[in-house]
Amino acid sequence: MESFIPVLNAIDSFMWGPPLITLLVGTGIYLTIRLQLLQVFRLPKALGLIFKAKNHGEGDVSSFKALCVALAATVGTGNIVGVATAVKVGGPGAIFWMWMAAFFGMATKYAEGLLAVKYRSTDEKGEIAGGPMFYIRNGMGEKYKPLATFFAVATILVAYLGIGTFPQVNAIVDSVNISFGVSKLATDVLLTVLIAAITLGGLQSIAKVASKIIPFMAVMYIVISLGLIIIHLDAVPAAVSLILESAFTGSAAAGGFAGSTIMMAMQNGIARGVFSNESGLGSAPIAAAAAKTKHPAEQGLISMTGTFIDTIIICTMTGLALVLTGVWQGDAAGAAMTSAAFASVYGVVGSQLLTIALALFAFTTILGWNYYGERACIYLMGTKGVLPYRLLFIALIASGAFLKLEAIWILADIVNGLMAIPNLIALIALSGVVVAETKSYLAEEDAKKNAQEAIN
């Protein structure tokens, strides 16, 4: 397997180079234009719906819990390690391009959530089943069924070999070992038991855990990040200026930083932004489909907030911490760089708090991707494939702490990209449906608002 690494690296570099990045961002721009900047004008309503959605209609979980399952998968190591990697290679300007990817990605995530509810179905047990494989087959037509099957297979492979298992398990056991001195074996055993107990309970169990952990971990990380920003408050204008300037001029070499070009900032910022919020990859709509709602557009708006929370808020906090403390110019990279930023303000406690955040982020990502892979498995094999899928997933979690097969991670990266292609084709093909559903929903909401104002 190791002998294939050069070939896999070449494929990976091509996959996540200009072709896919252009398709991802281009789809977001196209949808933004067709939806008339919906992510700007309807963002306040979308944020309000997170807690105020009526949750009427078919579905397995509330809209809030569906969002939490999606956030469980997206808010992960990418928010800490991914941002640091982007800034290390692309300089502070990468943060600006991360924002751009998120801005247009919000329109993409909206369309995904809407279509997920519009074309969802039920499985043999009467549970909601949805996601790109359903809106490809049910929306585009039976002749596109092979494209839907291709997406489902890619989803299972990513859940098993990539985002859902090995990187997350390694991040947890390594960070806990370094910060708290707990043996990797002990952490791995505890992690496996917890994952088994939760995932064997299915969506309801995953949603229940995610709806409690996600708000807690997001608030905790935002609070410690805000503390760091407040301490460096006088340097914030200069940091923002550096981010904007570097995005269009590149960054000169400084300290341990080798320097970067505009293209390096752009490519790393966009790629890491997409890795973090997963807009366009087709993962989040699998969770969105399970929401209790009558209106596809309503869930689309709620899904859209996932990208806003993940990248505009959480990734920005990490990026500002790196720039304000100057650690991006040092020799540290990845999680070590972010840890150095927090340690510069909070000392050892800062590193330990970051480890807790990283562990929780990675833990919930495992839960979210377990569910995505399971729904793809049901689409391909029916409910009879669920138990074997779960048992194999748990076995991979148990072995994840001891596997360091570089080839598997590169392969997972490639399959992750392959997930996005059929999904993006469907989003473009069904964009007319997205626009029509949006107009209908907003007209209905505006009519209700006007009627209420007339009564008042």
Report how many helices (DSSP H) and strands (DSSP E) the chain contains, helices first.
Answer: 22, 2
Residue 406: its pLDDT value, please? 64
Question: How many C-beta atoms surround the C-beta of residue 435 within 10 A?
Answer: 17
**Integer Cα distance of 29 and 82 in angstroms:** 23
Q: Is residue 259's pLDDT more than 90?
A: no
Q: What pTM did the predictor assign? A: 0.90
CB 248 within 8 A of CB 266: no
Residue 138 carries which DSSP code?
I
Residue in the structure block whose two tokens are 């600006």: 96
Q: Is residue 404's pLDDT more than 70?
A: no
In percent, how much of the chain has pLDDT > 90? 46
CB 118 within 8 A of CB 305: no
Using one digit for the tens of pLDDT, what is the confidence trace for 108-146? 999 999 999 999 988 777 888 899 999 999 999 999 999
Using one digit for the tens of pLDDT, what is the confidence trace for 218-236? 888 999 999 999 999 999 9
